[in-house]
């Protein structure tokens, strides 16, 4: 075998602390290395051309590039090898940037370590064999999990691109957080007026199957061939018959049912359609509040339903959907402000969340758009807004900025002035974060045209005082204490990961950060991809986002799926496990450790043997570690290849 | 309950302005089976004047007391005074830093481990005796008395150092007082500052801050305020007339120590309880509570 070694400077990233020329020189002494050089940028066009030229001039059979992490450029260099006429698996990468130059300053030690990593790569490459990818066909349906604005955009874009779409939503209606908003910044246009038509498009698009009141139960399979079980929760109403007339809700006697859609401001009925623009416009029963389901008597809705749609015996149903790709758009949830004792910890009725305030502002909300205090229904005159409640606060485990609260608070002060012209809004803020098109101008408008008084500082206490509230805080610009008496306090609660986000990530086998937000494939270059092929992200499930960003990501994720589905077949990764039958003793240890269900036990001449389902295997290698016989081997990472690396490093 | 043995740190106020807090606390602990042993030859913790000027000075004053207690074979150190407690616990917290620990030992010229548990009497009451036990001892419940509990600003703060109860809405006093038959009213100012030692230098500040506590207590409909802090008690009680004069208010709210009320509910009277030490006399209030409890007490 003729091996070529290319040691990359990565500008000064590597060369700054590693003597790459010395590493190349050392490499010339390694077995079967016939050519070694250092190169300024191995990944650049001239860098790659240099590799191709060397392959031809020195009749190389394999190439080692010592540069950055394989996550960055392994694919790049494998393509280079293919262009040079070599098999793409006759390539090894030594990571001398993340593993050497970026983490150590001692040039001599770094150079030594880099040379050893190159030696390991050479020994591995000597054991490599040519591998060829197979092909498999794909199912060109896409599932979108989450029917907020990001999921809606992704669904419509995919459907317009000719794909069959399955949209799964946990709540009875799609619309997400945006459907609860009164107006949107910075244009102050009506949220439901711009979202409503999109929601109708979803229900009318023949390419879209909608499962609301549904959650993903399990996900099997792999890119191109996912098998998703969806739990359709019992609505206790046959939606094929329900016409959405609302007669049932009008007659339901359980009028004190907590109103989830209205953020628990006011109450609703046990059977209800959550809001007038709901899609699908179907009634569902809250089983915890329904007299028939809890006490076995009532049935008022049955009597009035003209369609005979009420079904108290309805049960959850599991629907299986086969799709080739999944877009996750599960959004966010609101921080629970009761953790803040200084804001009353939830004990004061007129200290509410910003989302509750949206419902008070909304014409379709519980107060029909009149701002009324929850405690006594009176119109407030002095309103204090507190920003960063559950954002940028390490003490409660939320050190991140939720990004959109500054903007919606400014919007709410503007709407407050529109609703109650003789009102005064006060905003306690830490810093104003308004880096969007027209955003900072909008904040200025709230201050200058609508007279919102912005006070830079935190609030230390909210105390009831004679039917009103005393808000004590600090003005850090004036270096002074501030006390304001107000009728209503609105807390700009931050965003946190959607409830159940980590559990769904486990089902999807995608990563999430310590707060439960899903990890994108690359923070800059793969914002809507995940590290699991065929699964994409859109909207706030990846991190807090405002509406324009969520919509942009919905569209981006859809375009990724359309791109994936533009091929009829996908190349299968040949780096998968296979079983040597003579060695296999049928102990099934490999089957028990396989996280993908890729191993089945089969009969071979009357003996039990393991067998790998090639299309399901993801090449994790668990089975090879578990096998007591060395019978199951992962291509490109065989025991011999790993041992060659170890032996190179530990010769004694 | 196993009998607990504690090193007792009375604090300077316990020898003077809050003698009734000290004596009623000792009586209460005796009743509940705590063995209190005074730290022999204890010294002042330096209070605000020391820690406001020099952390090493403050820590050294406190550490001397810690060192003596460490030779005593006790389960921990307890004090009724939140200000002393704060200095004791802050010193212990600061001495977690090895350099600071070494520096303090150098000043003292001896080894200090600074590892004994340090608690307020209130915390020991809740955690060791328990609310149920206090209720059991209460043979003459103070039914009909309406109070607001006033914890003061440092009993539970900073939370990472004090590690007891909710720093924003503490409930220890609420629960104890409810257990002895008292009606405890919701009180949003329970952890506000009374003005503390500014009473000597800036009476206007105390008049404003303590005045606010008195106003809120009266507005809530309380007959009395219950405290756990000598300085809070002094500002609210002894300075009540001053505050009334400054603010044009007319409060006559007795300000009890919680230990006095626990002993009262246990049917005890006399010098150790020290009700006569209160500046705003509680006797007419107590006698109005009804024939069963009031008359005997007044």
Asked if residue B291 has pLDDT above 50, the reply is no
Same domain flag for B158 and B204: yes
In angstroms, the separation between the Cα of residue A104 and the nearest Cα of chain B is 29
The CATH number linked to B111 is 1.20.1050.140
Nearest residue of A to residue B215, measured between CA atoms? A465
Give the predicted TM-score (pTM) of the model: 0.87
Same domain flag for B154 and B224: yes
Asked if residue A141 has pLDDT above 90, the reply is yes
List, for residues A108-130, the tens digit of each pLDDT value.
999 999 999 999 999 999 999 99
Cβ atoms A628, A599 nearer than 8 A: no
Region of residue A241 (phi > 0: left; psi between -120 and 50: alpha; otherwise: beta)? alpha
List, for residues B231-288, the tens digit of each pLDDT value.
999 999 999 999 999 999 999 999 999 999 999 999 988 889 999 999 999 999 999 8
- Interchain CB contact of B214 with A (< 8 Å): no
Asked if residue B292 has pLDDT above 60, the reply is no
Interface with A, mutate which of B168, B174, B213 (most A CBs under 10 A): B168
Same domain flag for B171 and B280: yes
**What b-and-e string marks burial along B77-105, b requiring 16 or more CB atoms within 10 Å of the CB?**
bbbbbbbbbbbbbbbbbbbeeeebbebbb
| pLDDT tier for residue A67 given thresholds of 50, 70 and 90 | very high
Residue B257 domain-assigned (yes or no)? yes
List, for residues B54-84, the tens digit of each pLDDT value.
999 999 999 999 999 999 999 999 999 999 9
Structural domain range at position B166: 139-297
pLDDT the model gives residue A618: 84
In angstroms, the separation between the Cα of residue B29 and the nearest Cα of chain A is 31
Asked if residue B3 has pLDDT above 80, the reply is no
Range with lowest mean pLDDT among A609-613, B93-97, B105-109, B139-143 = B139-143
List, for residues A22-50, the tens digit of each pLDDT value.
999 999 999 999 999 999 999 999 999 99
- Interchain CB contact of B159 with A (< 8 Å): no
Asked if residue A308 has pLDDT above 80, the reply is yes
Query: What would the mean pLDDT of B24-47 be, rounded to a whole number?
Result: 94
Same domain flag for B152 and B280: yes
What angle do the packed helices A354-361 and A405-419 form, to 10 degrees? 30
For residue B189, the chain A residues in CB contact (below 8 A) are: 463
For residue A465, the chain B residues in CB contact (below 8 A) are: 188, 216, 219
pLDDT the model gives residue B2: 56
pLDDT the model gives residue A493: 97
8 Å CB contact of A345 and B216? no
**What b-and-e string marks burial along A187-222, b requiring 16 or more CB atoms within 10 Å of the CB?**
eeeebbeebbebbebbeebebbbbbbbbbbeebebb
Hey, is B188 helix, strand or coil? Answer: coil
A52 burial type by CB count under 10 A (0-12 exposed, 13-18 middle, 19+ buried): middle
Interface with B, mutate which of A338, A347, A460, A465 (most B CBs under 10 A): A465
Residue B102 domain-assigned (yes or no)? yes
Question: Looking at this predicted complex, what is its ipTM?
Answer: 0.85
Distance CA B191, CA A395 (A): 19
8 Å CB contact of B168 and A466? no
Same domain flag for B60 and B149: no
In angstroms, the separation between the Cα of residue A463 and the nearest Cα of chain B is 5
In angstroms, the separation between the Cα of residue B167 and the nearest Cα of chain A is 8
For residue B168, the chain A residues in CB contact (below 8 A) are: 340-342, 345, 461
In angstroms, the separation between the Cα of residue A403 and the nearest Cα of chain B is 28
Selected residues 217-246 of chain B with any CB under 8 Å from a CB in chain A: 219
Asked if residue B298 has pLDDT above 60, the reply is no
In angstroms, the separation between the Cα of residue A88 and the nearest Cα of chain B is 56
Residue B132 domain-assigned (yes or no)? no
Residue B134 domain-assigned (yes or no)? no
Same domain flag for B181 and B209: yes
Query: What would the mean pLDDT of A382-395 be, rounded to a whole number?
Result: 96
For residue A526, what are the CA distances in angstroms to A203, A523, B250?
31, 6, 70
Alpha helices by DSSP H, A35-148: 45-57, 70-83, 107-127
Asked if residue B295 has pLDDT above 50, the reply is no
Report phi then psi at A378, rounded to 5: -80, 155
8 Å CB contact of B168 and A463? no
Residue B131 domain-assigned (yes or no)? no
Cβ atoms B45, B61 nearer than 8 A: yes
pLDDT the model gives residue A179: 97
Cβ atoms A227, A320 nearer than 8 A: yes
In angstroms, the separation between the Cα of residue B36 and the nearest Cα of chain A is 34
Q: Given CA atoms A118, A123, A126, A132 in this order, what sign does their dihedral have?
A: negative
Same domain flag for B203 and B238: yes
pLDDT the model gives residue A60: 97
Query: What would the mean pLDDT of B180-188 be, rounded to a whole number?
Result: 95
Size of interface A-B (CB pairs under 8 A): 24
Residue B53 domain-assigned (yes or no)? yes
pLDDT the model gives residue B1: 45
Same domain flag for B162 and B37: no
Same domain flag for B168 and B277: yes
Cβ atoms A39, A47 nearer than 8 A: yes
In angstroms, the separation between the Cα of residue A396 and the nearest Cα of chain B is 13
Asked if residue B20 has pLDDT above 80, the reply is yes
Interface with B, mutate which of A351, A461, A462, A472 (most B CBs under 10 A): A461
Same domain flag for B86 and B217: no
pLDDT the model gives residue B268: 87
For residue B188, the chain A residues in CB contact (below 8 A) are: 344, 461-465
In angstroms, the separation between the Cα of residue B168 and the nearest Cα of chain A is 5
Q: Which residue has the tokens 């392959």?
A: A55
Cβ atoms A32, A122 nearer than 8 A: yes
What angle do the packed helices A149-160 and A191-204 form, to 10 degrees? 40
Same domain flag for B163 and B272: yes
Give, as one character, the DSSP assignment of residue A463.
E
List, for residues A546-605, the tens digit of each pLDDT value.
999 999 999 999 999 999 999 999 988 899 999 999 999 999 999 999 988 899 999 999
Cβ atoms A614, A622 nearer than 8 A: no
8 Å CB contact of B188 and A341? no
Nearest residue of A to residue B160, measured between CA atoms? A395
Asked if residue B294 has pLDDT above 80, the reply is no
8 Å CB contact of A463 and B219? no
Nearest to B289 by CA among B270, B252, B261: B261
Residues contacting B190, CB < 8 A, separation 6+ = B148, B149, B150, B151, B169, B170
Nearest to A487 by CA among A351, A346, A343: A351
8 Å CB contact of B219 and A345? no
What angle do the packed helices B55-70 and B82-94 form, to 10 degrees? 90
Same domain flag for B191 and B250: yes
For residue B216, the chain A residues in CB contact (below 8 A) are: 463, 465
For residue A351, the chain B residues in CB contact (below 8 A) are: none
- Interchain CB contact of B168 with A (< 8 Å): yes
Asked if residue A616 has pLDDT above 90, the reply is no
Cβ atoms A414, A374 nearer than 8 A: no
8 Å CB contact of B188 and A464? yes
pLDDT the model gives residue A491: 98
Nearest residue of A to residue B159, measured between CA atoms? A395
Asked if residue A245 has pLDDT above 60, the reply is yes
pLDDT the model gives residue A614: 87
Interface with A, mutate which of B167, B170, B188, B212 (most A CBs under 10 A): B188
| pLDDT tier for residue B4 given thresholds of 50, 70 and 90 | confident
Domains in chain B, number: 2
Query: What would the mean pLDDT of A357-378 be, rounded to a whole number?
Result: 95
Closest partner residue to A345 (CB to CB) among B168, B186, B189 is B168
Nearest to A111 by CA among A214, A180, A38, A209: A38
Nearest residue of A to residue B188, measured between CA atoms? A463
Structural domains for chain A: 3-127 (3.40.50), 141-233+316-331+498-564 (3.50.50.60), 247-304 (no CATH), 335-496 (3.50.50.60), 577-635 (3.30.70.3270)
Residue B79 domain-assigned (yes or no)? yes
Hey, is A322 helix, strand or coil? Answer: strand
Token pair of B129, please? 């005796």
Distance CA A306, CA A285 (A): 17
Identify residues of A whose CB sits under 8 angstroms from chain B CBs. Answer: 340-342, 344-345, 347, 461-466
Residue B289 domain-assigned (yes or no)? yes
The CATH number linked to B258 is 3.40.50.11810
Query: What would the mean pLDDT of A162-171 be, rounded to a whole number?
Result: 98
Cross-strand partners of A328: A145, A537
How much of chain A exceeds pLDDT 70, in percent? 100
For residue A350, the chain B residues in CB contact (below 8 A) are: none
A429: part of which helix (H) or strand (E)? strand A424-429
- Interchain CB contact of B167 with A (< 8 Å): yes
In angstroms, the separation between the Cα of residue A349 and the nearest Cα of chain B is 14
8 Å CB contact of B188 and A466? no
Distance CA B131, CA B122 (A): 11
């Amino acid at each position: 075998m003729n091996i070529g070694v290319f040691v990359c400077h990565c500008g000064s990233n590597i060369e700054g602390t590693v003597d790459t020329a010395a590493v190349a020189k050392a490499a010339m002494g390694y077995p079967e290395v016939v050519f070694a050089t250092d190169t300024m940028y191995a990944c650049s066009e001239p860098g790659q051309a240099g590799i191709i030229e060397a392959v031809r001039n020195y009749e190389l059979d394999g190439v080692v590039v010592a540069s950055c992490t394989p996550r960055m450029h392994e694919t790049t260099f494998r393509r280079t090898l293919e262009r040079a006429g070599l098999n793409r698996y006759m390539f090894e990468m030594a990571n001398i940037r993340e593993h050497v130059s970026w983490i150590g300053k001692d040039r001599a030690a770094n150079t030594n370590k880099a040379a050893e990593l190159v030696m390991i790569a050479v020994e591995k490459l000597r054991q490599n064999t040519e591998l060829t990818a197979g092909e498999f066909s794909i199912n060109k349906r896409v599932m979108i999990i989450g029917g907020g604005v990001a999921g809606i955009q992704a669904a419509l874009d995919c459907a317009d691109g000719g794909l069959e779409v399955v949209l799964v939503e946990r709540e009875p209606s799609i619309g997400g957080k945006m459907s609860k908003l009164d107006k949107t910044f910075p244009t102050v246009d009506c949220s439901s007026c711009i979202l409503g038509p999109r929601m109708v498009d979803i229900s009318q698009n023949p390419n879209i199957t909608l499962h609301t009141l549904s959650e993903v139960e399990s996900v099997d399979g792999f890119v191109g061939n996912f098998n998703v079980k969806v739990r359709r929760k019992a609505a206790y109403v046959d939606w094929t018959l329900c016409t959405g007339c609302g007669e049932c809700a009008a007659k339901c006697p359980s009028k004190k049912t907590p109103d989830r859609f209205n953020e628990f401001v006011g109450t609703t009925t046990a059977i209800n359609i959550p809001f007038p623009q709901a899609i699908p416009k179907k009634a569902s029963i809250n089983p915890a509040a329904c007299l028939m389901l809890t006490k076995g008597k009532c049935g008022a809705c049955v009597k009035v339903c003209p369609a005979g749609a009420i079904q108290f015996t309805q049960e959850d149903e599991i629907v299986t959907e086969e799709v080739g790709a999944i877009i996750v758009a599960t959004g966010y949830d609101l921080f629970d402000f009761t953790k803040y004792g200084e804001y009353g910890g939830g004990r004061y009725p007129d200290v509410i969340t910003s989302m509750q305030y949206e419902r008070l502002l909304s014409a379709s909300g519980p107060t029909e758009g009149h701002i009324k205090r929850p405690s006594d229904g009176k119109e407030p005159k002095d309103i204090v807004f507190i920003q960063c409640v559950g954002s940028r606060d390490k003490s409660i485990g939320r050190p991140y900025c939720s990004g959109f609260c500054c903007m919606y608070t400014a919007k709410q002060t503007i709407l407050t002035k529109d609703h109650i012209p003789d009102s005064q809004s006060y905003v306690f803020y830490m810093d104003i974060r308004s880096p969007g098109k027209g955003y900072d101008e909008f904040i200025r408008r709230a201050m200058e045209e609508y007279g919102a008084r912005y006070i830079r500082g935190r609030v230390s206490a909210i105390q009831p005082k004679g039917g009103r509230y005393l808000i004590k805080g600090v003005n850090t610009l004036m270096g002074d204490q501030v006390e304001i008496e107000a009728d209503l306090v609105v807390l700009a609660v931050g965003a946190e990961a959607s409830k159940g986000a980590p559990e769904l990530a486990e089902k999807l086998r995608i990563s999430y950060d310590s707060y439960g937000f899903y990890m994108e494939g690359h923070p800059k270059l793969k914002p809507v991809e995940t590290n699991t092929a065929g699964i994409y992200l859109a909207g706030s499930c990846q991190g807090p986002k405002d509406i324009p960003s969520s919509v942009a990501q919905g569209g981006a994720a859809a375009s990724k799926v359309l791109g994936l589905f533009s091929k009829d077949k996908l190349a299968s990764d040949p780096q998968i496990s296979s079983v040597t039958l003579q060695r296999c003793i049928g102990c099934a240890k490999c089957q028990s450790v396989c996280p993908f269900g890729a191993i089945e036990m089969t009969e071979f001449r009357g003996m039990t043997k393991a067998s790998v389902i090639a299309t399901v295997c993801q090449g994790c290698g668990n089975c090879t570690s578990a096998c007591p016989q060395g019978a199951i081997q992962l291509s490109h990472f065989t025991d011999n290849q790993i041992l060659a690396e170890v032996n190179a490093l530990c010769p004694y | 309950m196993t009998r607990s043995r504690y090193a007792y740190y009375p604090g300077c106020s316990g020898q003077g302005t809050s003698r009734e807090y000290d004596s009623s606390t000792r009586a209460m602990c005796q009743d509940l089976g705590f063995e209190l042993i005074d730290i022999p030859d204890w010294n002042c913790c330096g209070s605000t004047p020391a820690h406001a000027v020099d952390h090493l000075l403050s820590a050294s004053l406190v550490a001397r007391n810690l060192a003596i207690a460490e030779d005593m074979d006790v389960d921990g150190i307890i004090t009724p005074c939140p200000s002393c407690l704060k200095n004791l616990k802050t010193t212990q917290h600061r001495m977690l830093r090895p350099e600071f620990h070494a520096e303090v030992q150098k000043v003292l010229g001896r080894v200090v481990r600074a590892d004994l548990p340090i608690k307020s009497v209130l915390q020991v009451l809740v955690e060791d005796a328990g609310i149920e036990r206090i209720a059991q001892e209460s043979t003459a419940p103070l039914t009909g008395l309406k109070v607001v509990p006033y914890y003061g600003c440092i009993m539970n703060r900073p939370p990472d150092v004090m590690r007891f109860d909710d720093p924003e809405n503490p409930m220890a006093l609420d629960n104890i007082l409810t257990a002895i038959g008292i009606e405890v009213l919701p009180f949003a100012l329970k952890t506000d500052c009374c003005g503390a030692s500014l009473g000597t230098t800036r009476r206007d500040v105390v008049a404003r801050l303590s005045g606010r506590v008195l106003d809120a207590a009266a507005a809530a409909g309380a007959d009395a305020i219950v405290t756990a802090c000598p300085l809070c008690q002094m500002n609210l009680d002894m300075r009540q007339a001053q505050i009334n004069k400054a603010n044009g208010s007319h409060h006559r709210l007795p300000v009890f120590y919680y230990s006095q009320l626990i002993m009262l509910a246990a049917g005890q009277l006399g010098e150790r309880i020290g009700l006569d030490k209160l500046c705003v006399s509680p006797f007419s209030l107590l006698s109005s509570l009804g024939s069963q409890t009031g008359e005997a007490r007044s």
